Amino acid sequence: MHRRIEDYALIGDEQTAALVGRDGSVDWLCLPRFDSAACFAALLGDEDNGHWRIAPEGAELCTRRAYRPDTLVLDTEWDTAEGSVRVTDLMPQREHAPDVVRIVEGLGGRVRMRGLLRLRFDYGSVVPWMRRSDGHRVAVAGPDSVWLRSEPPVRTWGEDFRTHSEFTVEAGEKVAFVLTWHPSHRPRPPLSDPFEALETSVQDWRAWAARCRYDGPHRDAVVRSLITLKALTYAPTGGIVAAPTTSLPEELGGVRNWDYRYCWLRDSTLTLGALLSAGYHEEAEAWRDWLLRAVAGDPAALQIMYGLSGERRLSEYEIPWLSGYAGSAPVRVGNSAVEQLQLDVYGEVIDSLSLARRSGLPSRPHMWRVECAMMEFLRVAWRQPDEGIWEVRGPRRHFVYSKVMAWVAADRAVRTLEDDPTLDGDIEGWRAMRDEVHREVCERGFDPVRNTFTQSYGSTELDASLLLIPRVGFLPPDDPRVVGTVDAVRAELAPDGFLVRRYNTTTTTDVDGLPGDEGVFVVCSFWLADALHLTGRTQEARTLFERLVGLTNDLGLLSEEYDPVAGRQLGNFPQAFSHIGLVVSALSLFGVDEAEEADGAVPPG
């Protein structure tokens, strides 16, 4: 029986992350990086694909669980007939090697505990050799070795390619387990102190969370989202992954299963906006510098996504031995979307660089050169059809949102030149492009009969990305075409007025070229709240926002999509896009309207 996606919690060390279930089992962990092969892949198969469970003997789901306030340290507790026990899970900031620390603490009575570790390298397929060394159990296969120790040592034995442990805790007693990954050709990794690591982690996360500038309603949800975005950052380079998982399905049993362990420029730039609005300038600067390195060379040959360090080749393949989450196959590694043309990305990148400049981030000498190169490419390329924001795998189209974002690119480039006369650029050429794009979108992407912008030129379909038109400043919020579009999108893509689908997957136009259906797309519902607010319906927007916060799991986490019929989260988890939506909407609806600035909502001049 698979766990629901929302039954998982996230822990991580800003280089990789693990998912821990309510039953005390770590079912997903890629080591040493987010995009490495998983050594625990039970999430996408079964327990024999690797997991690590620590729980009271005979117990199933925990009685309660929570993050320690303002941290990524997870407490999972069970009340049993024998007594109560807590397992505290964390991945400390990395010094030498990645560690997963699990501290078992007796809370009352005398509880018998069981540990079961099945290490399976290379996405659940490789059973390692196990041996003992210096009080550790060591698993080795190919490039990977994993070292397990406990403090104090507890009885541990191997059987059937599994490592078992058995021990008892009384109130106040603590047993810590540390699992450390290391390259298999290297000597034993340095030992870290798990109890000290716990204290330091709690302090560090709290100090980080205290920097949040937002102090309005739903602060806890905002801080949890920011912590999640921070946890999705690959600290050594500043790259931000869209999610720490691959192939959690957009439809249970379906084929819409993708690998999100990479850095999408779209998702990352929006993360940058959310972090900047909430006061996190260092992270924004680190990402901006990651971007400048990733696109170096020929900035015009921009990819829509990169690896954690800016790698370009992310070829997609399937893993046939994993049955998929709830049977949702195939499981994919890599992402073919890397080869797509998505014109909106240029707008998002130039917008975020312009925001970085306006927010006072120290400039870099080649930043403007990169923007100019992108503009030169876009000046010609904006006329092409593309795969659009939703990365459709059907034929290219003239997606309206892509054109709107081409307008944003030109608009922000022109404004940068207007603000800083020391910079060189073809201001007249870009102004002309801006006007031409605007004219064309209003002529070819607008349906005057229904009074709404459409998904693509000449189409009758709608698209949730159109909700962003007022936010990016393409038209003022009170323009009747904007109000008409918000109403039309809501009526057609959110029949309950609340949960928004990104587009229709069931029409004859078969826009995405994929079989099957999908859930509602969480970030789009936040966009609806923002659009309602901008168009003067703030009370309605706030009510909607509050319902959306209700979709988070018990820990405040959101996946990419939601199934309103089953009442379950769907898609990769936790997903940056959804948490960005929550932060930006909260700041805009209850804060100081900085979220608009973050997304570049500068009304057209």
Ligand X SMILES: OC[C@H]1O[C@H](O[C@H]2O[C@H](CO)[C@@H](O)[C@H](O)[C@H]2O)[C@H](O)[C@@H](O)[C@@H]1O
Structure tokens, 373: 């190169």
By rule CB under 6 A, what string of x and - marks binding of each residue 320-339 to ligand X? Answer: ---------------x-x--
Q: Toward ligand X, which CB reaches closer, 212 or 406?
A: 406
Asked if 102 contacts 87 with a C-beta cutoff of 8 angstroms, the reply is yes
Phi, psi of 447 (to 5 degrees): -105, 105
Q: Toward ligand X, which CB reaches closer, 295 or 314?
A: 314
Asked if 382 contacts 341 with a C-beta cutoff of 8 angstroms, the reply is no
Q: Toward ligand X, which CB reaches closer, 103 or 557?
A: 557
Q: Toward ligand X, which CB reaches closer, 146 or 406?
A: 406
What Å distances lie between residue 134 and 147, 189, 541, CA to CA? Answer: 10, 12, 60
Cα torsion angle, 501, 502, 503, 505, sign:
negative
Rg of the chain, C-alpha, whole Å: 24
- The DSSP symbol for 160 reads T
Does residue 205 belong to the site contacting ligand X (CB under 6 A)?
no
Binding segment for ligand X among 210-218, 280-288, 386-394, 488-496 (CB under 6 A)?
386-394
Does residue 504 belong to the site contacting ligand X (CB under 6 A)?
no
Give the Cα separation of 116 and 125 in Å (integer).
18
Give the Cα separation of 493 and 481 in Å (integer).
17
Does residue 267 belong to the site contacting ligand X (CB under 6 A)?
yes
Give the Cα separation of 300 and 382 in Å (integer).
13
Q: Toward ligand X, which CB reaches closer, 19 or 305?
A: 305
281: Cα within 13 Å, side-chain hemisphere: 10
Cα torsion angle, 52, 55, 57, 60, sign:
negative
- Beta partners for residue 181, in sequence order: 146
Q: Toward ligand X, which CB reaches closer, 246 or 585?
A: 246
CB atoms within 10 A of CB 132: 10
By rule CB under 6 A, what string of x and - marks binding of each residue 391-430 to ligand X? Answer: x-x-------------------------------------
- Nearest Cα neighbor of 247 from 238, 260, 234 is 260
- Nearest Cα neighbor of 227 from 592, 568, 552 is 552
Q: Toward ligand X, which CB reaches closer, 256 or 288?
A: 256
In the list 121, 167, 177, 264, the residue contacting ligand X (rule: CB under 6 A) is 264
Name the minimum Å distance from CB 37 to ligand X. 19
Give the Cα separation of 54 and 35 in Å (integer).
25
Binding segment for ligand X among 12-20, 26-34, 150-158, 252-260 (CB under 6 A)?
252-260
Does residue 260 belong to the site contacting ligand X (CB under 6 A)?
yes
Phi, psi of 341 (to 5 degrees): -100, 120
Give the Cα separation of 486 and 503 in Å (integer).
14
In the list 130, 179, 229, 242, the residue contacting ligand X (rule: CB under 6 A) is 242
Does residue 52 belong to the site contacting ligand X (CB under 6 A)?
no
Q: Toward ligand X, which CB reaches closer, 257 or 588?
A: 257
Binding segment for ligand X among 87-95, 176-184, 256-264, 373-381 (CB under 6 A)?
256-264
Binding segment for ligand X among 34-42, 385-393, 548-556, 582-590 (CB under 6 A)?
385-393
Structure tokens, 279: 């006061």
Q: Toward ligand X, which CB reaches closer, 149 or 266?
A: 266
Name the minimum Å distance from CB 434 to ligand X. 24
Q: Toward ligand X, which CB reaches closer, 245 or 416?
A: 245
Binding segment for ligand X among 56-64, 255-263, 428-436, 442-450 (CB under 6 A)?
255-263
Give the Cα separation of 15 and 166 in Å (integer).
31
Please list every residue from 566 through 585 that binds ligand X, using CB under 6 A.
577
In the list 389, 406, 494, 520, the residue contacting ligand X (rule: CB under 6 A) is 389
Asked if 100 contacts 18 with a C-beta cutoff of 8 angstroms, the reply is yes
In the list 258, 306, 545, 562, the residue contacting ligand X (rule: CB under 6 A) is 258
Binding site for ligand X (CB under 6 A): 242, 256, 258, 260, 264, 266-267, 335, 337, 389-391, 393, 577
